[in-house]
Amino acid sequence: MTAYVSAFDLFSIGVGPSSSHTVGPMRAALDFARRLSDSASIARVARVGCTLYGSLGATGIGHGTPDAVVAGLRGLAPETCDPSAVRAAWTEFPVGGTLLLDSVQEVAFAKEDIVFAPRTRLPGHPNALTITAWDDAGDIVSEETYYSVGGGFIRRDGEEARVAASPSLFAYTDAASLLALCDEHGLSIAEVARVNETALRDEADVASGLDAIWDAMAACVDAGLHSDGVLPGMLKVKRRASVIRGQLEEAESDGHRELPGEWLGAFALAVNEENAAGGRVVTAPTNGAAGILPAVAMYWWRFLADSGLAAGNAVTPYGELVGSALLGFDGARALEAPAGDGGDQAVAEANRRRGIRRFLLTATALGSLFKANASISGAEGGCQAEVGSACAMAAGGLTAVMGGTNRQIENAAEIAMEHHLGLTCDPIGGLVQIPCIERNAIAASTAVTAARLALRGDGSHYVSLDAVVETMRQTGIDMSTKYKETSEGGLAVNVIEC
Ligand code: SF4
């Protein structure tokens, strides 16, 4: 058994606003519909309904959960759907309308067939939903309970959690055994992740898949930086990323120096505003925390990568710590981007892509530890599990592409997580907007600070990453359910919604 979770599960391309409340329930409903199709019993189904329990029942409407369930029942998948087809699938479901189950079977459905049961918590997980299909006589054709366990991952009741499985996988269970594995084989953390990914799929698919994840992240940053207006929901939150982009571009065109720290915040706001608007988002490792990794990676891509990569040992904000190590990707042939034939620009672009792959693989190896040994779900562990985990992953990824050692990477992740311990989840109105959007910008800057501190040290430190992960797990257990994505405490009850 290994803690490793594939990058292609941890970073899935989906829709906003929530991985646990939108993407997971959509996958559950799709799985339910597909099972009916595959068993041919779909022809007997006359009506469908769904009960949303616990946190899904408490904040489901704000997170678009019923819309996601209806979209999934229709056969839409988060990875491939048009996000606009999900947004109002339940909210604007017509009175007297019918639903085309898995695109093949027309069945009766009304908005009231989604039942909200926030006070009922199933023992399997705080995010649970039961989907039922009935025949003409009112007898049950099929009924399944699913748990949306965070990051868009689902588990069907009675099934074991899915884990990466291959005899060629490098198995590790915690940060200590990951570092020992690296020492034993002389590998970086990214290289361990690369070996594991290539045990699960072709090398070429790993490289192109990581590039596709980055392209989706970058497209989301770009979309958010160029979208104005007000976000959906009763809070009427104004989008700010585009305004800040305009201000920064104006300041820079006036001859002021570049403002990387301010761009970092704008990148994070951009992603989380896209997420809140139900746009195309990459879970990283959740939707609520989706802005941190793309923001930190984009910060490196735009402000640090070329100086370090193109010049080899050039002085960057990390000074002597950035060196020729960046030019190599641990000899991982298949993960090297093509050298490019368009001159310096193409070479720089290819080198940046290699860096991003390294960033994502390092973040994957670290994120797996949080998922296996604590949680990445706000409903299970509060915001420390979502934003804290994403911040630690980003800090480790940045440290890796800045030429940090494995122990510096582990140190950076530990610093980032340590200072999120105890962070509660209390979104106002159950919307992934306040405090979530700004919180991603703050966490992105914490990730950069954590990487800077770790890179200035030699990797030795007092608190281990494993101790922090275990502390996060215990704190999550002790945390009142009021602070775990129920909107029953904190900001959610102290700020008047208007
Ligand atoms: S407060 Fe944190 S955990 Fe809760 S929805 Fe917002 S980002 Fe997610």
Average pLDDT estimate for 331-353: 62
Are 220 and 138 within one domain?
A: no
Residue 414 within a domain: yes
Residue 41: half-sphere exposure toward Cβ, Cα within 13 Å? 17
238 DSSP assignment: B
Torsional class of 97: left (φ above 0), alpha (ψ -120 to 50), beta (otherwise): beta
The residue out of 156, 189, 224 marking a domain boundary is 156
Are 484 and 335 within one domain?
A: yes
Average pLDDT estimate for 340-363: 85
Ligand 1: centre distance to CA 146 (Å): 21
Ligand 1: centre distance to CA 482 (Å): 13
- Nearest Cα to Cα of residue 65 among 142, 154, 161, 138: 154
Q: At 145, list the tokens.
A: 């309970």
Mutating to test ligand 1, I would choose from 20, 439, 442, 486 the residue with most ligand atoms within 8 A of its C-beta, which is 439
Mutating to test ligand 1, I would choose from 63, 377, 432 the residue with most ligand atoms within 8 A of its C-beta, which is 432
Task: Tell me the per-residue pLDDT of 359-409, one tens digit each, with 9 for 90 and over.
Answer: 999 999 999 999 999 999 998 999 999 999 999 999 999 999 999 999 999
Ligand 1 atom 4: the closest Cα is on which residue? 425
Are 248 and 384 within one domain?
A: yes
Give pTM, 2 decimals: 0.87
| Amino acid 171: pLDDT | 92
Sorted by sequence, the CB contacts under 8 Å of residue 136 that are 6+ apart come out as 44, 46
Are 338 and 485 within one domain?
A: yes
Check if the beta carbon of residue 322 is closer than 8 Å to that of residue 404.
no
Dihedral over Cα of 244, 250, 251, 256: its sign: positive
Residue 6 within a domain: no
160 DSSP assignment: P
Task: Tell me the per-residue pLDDT of 409-425, one tens digit each, with 9 for 90 and over.
Answer: 999 999 999 999 999 99
| Amino acid 486: pLDDT | 85
Residue 292 within a domain: yes
Are 286 and 193 within one domain?
A: yes
In the numeric block, the tokens 């946190």 are attached to 55
Q: Residue 326: which pLDDT band, with cuts at 50, 70 and 90?
A: very low
Average pLDDT estimate for 284-311: 86
Task: Tell me the per-residue pLDDT of 206-247, one tens digit each, with 9 for 90 and over.
Answer: 999 999 999 999 999 999 999 999 999 999 999 999 999 999
| Amino acid 259: pLDDT | 87
| Amino acid 307: pLDDT | 62
Provide, rounded to the nearest whole percent, the portion of the chain with pLDDT above 70.
Answer: 90
* CA distance linking residue 154 with residue 96, whole number of Å: 31
Mutating to test ligand 1, I would choose from 20, 231, 273, 425 the residue with most ligand atoms within 8 A of its C-beta, which is 425
Q: Residue 317: which pLDDT band, with cuts at 50, 70 and 90?
A: very low
| Amino acid 320: pLDDT | 30
Q: Residue 347: which pLDDT band, with cuts at 50, 70 and 90?
A: confident
Residue 3 within a domain: no
Residue 197 within a domain: yes
Looking at the CA of residue 378, tell me the nearest atom of ligand 1: 3
| Amino acid 318: pLDDT | 30
Are 119 and 209 within one domain?
A: no
Are 142 and 214 within one domain?
A: no
Residue 284 within a domain: yes
Looking at the CA of residue 427, tell me the nearest atom of ligand 1: 1
Q: Residue 84, exposed/middle/buried by CB under 10 A (0-12, 13-18, 19+)?
A: exposed
Are 404 and 432 within one domain?
A: yes
Residue 255 within a domain: yes
- Nearest Cα to Cα of residue 289 among 437, 416, 187: 437
CATH number of the structural domain spanning residue 135: 3.30.1330.90
Are 138 and 214 within one domain?
A: no
Q: Residue 357: which pLDDT band, with cuts at 50, 70 and 90?
A: very high
| Amino acid 314: pLDDT | 36
Are 272 and 302 within one domain?
A: yes
| Amino acid 327: pLDDT | 30
Task: Tell me the per-residue pLDDT of 47-94, one tens digit each, with 9 for 90 and over.
Answer: 999 999 998 999 889 889 999 999 999 999 999 999 999 988 999 999
Are 203 and 135 within one domain?
A: no
Task: Tell me the per-residue pLDDT of 153-209, one tens digit each, with 9 for 90 and over.
Answer: 999 999 876 655 666 689 999 999 999 999 999 999 999 999 999 998 998 999 999
Average pLDDT estimate for 310-324: 34
Ligand 1 atom 6: the closest Cα is on which residue? 436
Find the residues whose C-beta lies inside 6 A of ligand 1.
288-289, 378, 383, 386-387, 425, 427, 432, 435-436, 439, 485
Ligand 1 atom 8: the closest Cα is on which residue? 288
| Amino acid 5: pLDDT | 92
Average pLDDT, the chain: 90
Mutating to test ligand 1, I would choose from 387, 431, 442, 488 the residue with most ligand atoms within 8 A of its C-beta, which is 387
Residue 162 within a domain: no
| Amino acid 430: pLDDT | 87
Q: Is the pLDDT of residue 345 over 90?
A: no
* CA distance linking residue 358 with residue 397, whole number of Å: 7
Ligand 1: centre distance to CA 380 (Å): 11
Are 34 and 142 within one domain?
A: yes
Domain boundaries, position 35: 16-156
Q: Which residue has the higher pLDDT, 471 or 495?
A: 471
Q: At 332, list the tokens.
A: 């991982």
Ligand 1: centre distance to CA 384 (Å): 9
| Amino acid 160: pLDDT | 76
Q: Residue 339: which pLDDT band, with cuts at 50, 70 and 90?
A: very low
Ligand 1 atom 2: the closest Cα is on which residue? 383
Ligand 1: centre distance to CA 425 (Å): 5
Domain count, the chain: 2
In the numeric block, the tokens 């770790």 are attached to 454
Looking at the CA of residue 426, tell me the nearest atom of ligand 1: 1
Q: Is the pLDDT of residue 308 over 60?
A: no
Provide the 3-class DSSP secondary structure of residue 14. strand
| Amino acid 309: pLDDT | 39
